[in-house]
Amino acid sequence: MGRFDGREKRFLVEFGYTLAATTENAFITPKTDPYLVPRFSIGDEISFPEAVCNMVGVWRPAIDPIINFLRRLSRITRFLNDASGTKPSGSKLLTLLRLKGRLGG
């Protein structure tokens, strides 16, 4: 994602631009600043229906918790690998997650 904070608008106006796009995934509304127009990023290898679902946010509520869990699991695995020098078994990871209160059971 690009980084911007609004200070760019002064330079865009000064150099004669009337429109600028961001890398923010959002819809354009009547209140959209013409110098902060959002646009959707669409992957090259996805189907049209999947692209539409990404644009309207259908996947986010289902996918974000899974992504967050996998990221936590990856961090724990790296930590355990660094600490022991070996790959931990799946049961060790589940035990650690249960101790951390991340999983029930």
**pLDDT tens profile 78-93:** 777 776 666 656 666 6
Q: Are 6 and 39 contained in the same domain?
A: yes
Domain count across the chain: 2
Q: Which residues make Cβ contacts (< 8 Å) with residue 37, sequence separation at least 6?
A: 19, 20, 21, 22, 28
pTM for the whole thing?
Answer: 0.44
Q: At 37, phi and psi to the nearest 5? A: -75, 120
- Identify whether the C-beta of residue 35 lies closer than 8 Å to the C-beta of residue 21: no
Tell me, what's the pLDDT at 41? 75
Please report whether residue 18 resides in a domain: yes
Please report whether residue 51 resides in a domain: no
Structural domain containing residue 74: 60-99
